[in-house]
Amino acid sequence: MARRTGLPPSAAPARSPWRPAVWGACLGLCLALLLWAPARWLAWGVGQASLGQIQLHQARGTVWQGSAQLVLSGGAGSRDAQALPGRLQWQISPGWMSLKLQFLADCCMQQPANARLQAGLSTLQLQLSDHTSTWPAALLSGLGAPWNTLQAAGQLQLHTEALQLNWAAGRLQLQGLAKLDALNMSSKLSTLQPMGSYRIQLRGTPEGSATPDLQLSTLQGPLQLQGQGQWVGQRLRFTGEASAQEGSEAALSNLLNIIGRRQGTRSLLSLG
């Protein structure tokens, strides 16, 4: 008869009653850490993702609900950082493969704006609620060249309607409208103040199938700007021109030499 080995059932080692408690405590700690993650973690992530060009200073609260001072910078080593007056407040609500964001800039928005980010298989969709906000143009100087040279001043009024951006297979598709009015703009490169007001309009088709179209036009002023562009893949290709109204050529000559390639009385603009 074969000899049975091992301990009888009554002699089996008892499981520690502390093990489930330890695992439960660890799970609770991780959940609490996730729910109460400090806002500075979000500030660090935004800085890393934008290569230092968008920074959140003096962050308070949590990742999910907090506030900070928005700063634009030219990136690592830049000395041209510009801070937005007041604070930027946010509230983030996570969902399944999605995030809902509500944000409000004290200085520049009368009502909060809402955005929804939805991820899919090799796709990304961003929806922005209809809203209007007004931002100081001087904030752009923080982004470095060429804005730090232009030292623009004025107001940037942003208006969106049914705006939705989709990224799929390396292509950008856009529905709706984004309109930016640059009002009463001036620059340290010209003695004319203001130089004029301008409109940049980005429009997509209802189905988002066509290439997004960008238009630049002059609303009023001695500096005349016009141009058009399209997104090709992930790059914007833009061509336009700048010129001075009769009688303003001398005051705008220096600016026209800098912002584009001079061709007679015009300055040719190109990007991409």
How far lies 147's CA from each of 82, 121, 135, 256, 260, in Å?
11, 37, 15, 15, 14
pTM: 0.80
How far lies 142's CA from each of 136, 146, 185, in Å?
12, 10, 17
Residue 244's CB: how many other CB atoms inside 10 A? 22
Quote the pLDDT of residue 1. 47
Please report, as a single letter, which amino acid is at residue 29.
L
pLDDT digits (tens, 9 = 90+) for 37-51: 889 988 999 999 888
Q: Can you tell me which residue has the tokens 């500030």? A: 43
Quote the pLDDT of residue 8. 54
pLDDT digits (tens, 9 = 90+) for 83-139: 998 999 999 998 888 899 999 999 999 999 999 999 888 888 999 999 999 999 998
First to last CA, the chain: 87
Q: How far is the C-alpha of 191 from the C-alpha of 254, rounded, in Å? A: 10
Q: Can you tell me which residue has the tokens 């040279």? A: 149
* Spacing of C-alpha 237 from chain mean position: 20
Quote the pLDDT of residue 87. 95
In this structure, the strands spanning 65-72 and 113-120 are: unpaired
Q: How far is the C-alpha of 272 from the C-alpha of 237, rounded, in Å? A: 5
What residue ranges of the chain have pLDDT lower than 70?
1-36, 205-211, 233-234
User: What's the angle, vertex CA 224, arms to CA 223 and CA 230, rounded to 5?
Assistant: 130
Average pLDDT, rounded, for the chain = 83
Quote the pLDDT of residue 174. 84
Under a CB-based contact definition with an 8 Å cutoff, are residues 58 and 68 in contact? yes
Quote the pLDDT of residue 94. 87
Q: Can you tell me which residue has the tokens 């955005």? A: 115
Quote the pLDDT of residue 242. 94
